[in-house]
Amino acid sequence: MNKLKVKDIMLTGAFAALYFLCVGLGTFSSILFDRSGSMMYAPACAAVLGGTVYMLLQSKVRKFGAITLLGLVMGAFFLLSGHFFASFLPGMIFGLLADAIAKQGNYENKVINLLSFVVFSFVNSGPIILMWLARQTYINSLLARGKTQEYIDRVMLPVEASTVVWFVLTVVVGALIGGLFGQYLLKKHFVKAGMVS
C-alpha cells in the first residue's frame, strides 16, 4: 500500500512537468535580480513559484519515493542540459532527504512538510554548489561547451563565506514564502474544492 504504483509515478511525472515550468519561470525571473548570468537567485525564485506544486504533490501522493523522483528529474535536467555529471547529485541527495523528512510526518504535518520543501529547494542548486566545490572542473565544462573566458569570469561566483551564506539564505527564504503560499492555497482552494483531502 505504501509503495509507488504506476498511477503514482504518472501523477508525479505530471507534477514534475509543472515544477519544471516553475523552475524555468524562476530562472527567467532571477534575471531581474542579477543580470550577470550566474543564476545565483534562480533556485530561490524557483522555490517561490514551485511551492504550490510541491505541496500539491505531497497531498496527492503520500508515499515515499514521489519527492525523490521529482528531485531525480530535476537532477537529470541539469545533466542533460550540458552540465557535468556531478550536477546530478544535489537533485538526488536533496530530493531523498526531503522525502525522508516529509515521511516523518506521514506527508500530513504542515511544519514538517514546509521543512521538507526548504530542503528540497536545493535540488536546483547543483551547478552553483559545484561551482564552489569543483571550480576548475566547472570552468573546464564551460570551456568545453564553447563559453568564452569573458562569460566565465562574469558568471563564476566567488568562493567566499558571505556569498555562500547569502545564497543559502535566499533559497531558504524563497522556499518558506513558496511553501507557506502553497499550503495556504491548498487549504483555501484545493481542499474546499475536494481536489485533495
Confidence (pLDDT) at 138: 77
CB 38 within 8 Å of CB 155: yes
Confidence (pLDDT) at 143: 82
CB 87 within 8 Å of CB 30: no
Higher pLDDT, 20 or 126: 20
State the average pLDDT over residues 15-34.
Answer: 87
State which residues form the domain around 90: 6-186
Please report how many Cα atoms fall inside a 13 Å half-sphere around the Cα of residue 39, on the Cβ side.
18
Asked, for residue 1, whether it belongs to a domain, the answer is no
Asked, for residue 196, whether it belongs to a domain, the answer is no
Asked, for residue 193, whether it belongs to a domain, the answer is no
Asked, for residue 61, whether it belongs to a domain, the answer is yes
Q: How confident is the prediction for the chain on average, in pLDDT?
A: 86
| pLDDT of 101 above 80 | yes
Asked, for residue 73, whether it belongs to a domain, the answer is yes
Confidence (pLDDT) at 194: 56
Per this entry, what is the length of the chain?
Answer: 197
| pLDDT of 193 above 60 | no
pLDDT in tens, 45-69: 999 999 999 999 998 899 999 999 9
> What is the pTM (predicted TM-score) of this model?
0.87
**Does residue 168 sit in helix, strand or coil?**
helix
The structural domain count of the chain equals: 1
Q: What is the 3-state secondary structure (H, E, C) of 92-156?
A: HHHHHHHHHHHHHCCCCCHHHHHHHHHHHHHHHHHHHHHHHHCHHHHHHHHHHCCCCHHHHHHHC
Neighbours of 30 (CB within 10 A): 20
Burial of 57 (0-12, 13-18, 19+ CB in 10 A): buried
| pLDDT of 32 above 90 | no
Weakest-pLDDT range from 35-39, 57-61, 92-96: 35-39
**Does residue 48 sit in helix, strand or coil?**
helix
Asked, for residue 192, whether it belongs to a domain, the answer is no
Q: Can you tell me the distance from the alpha carbon of 93 to that of 97, in angstroms, rounded to the nearest whole number?
A: 6
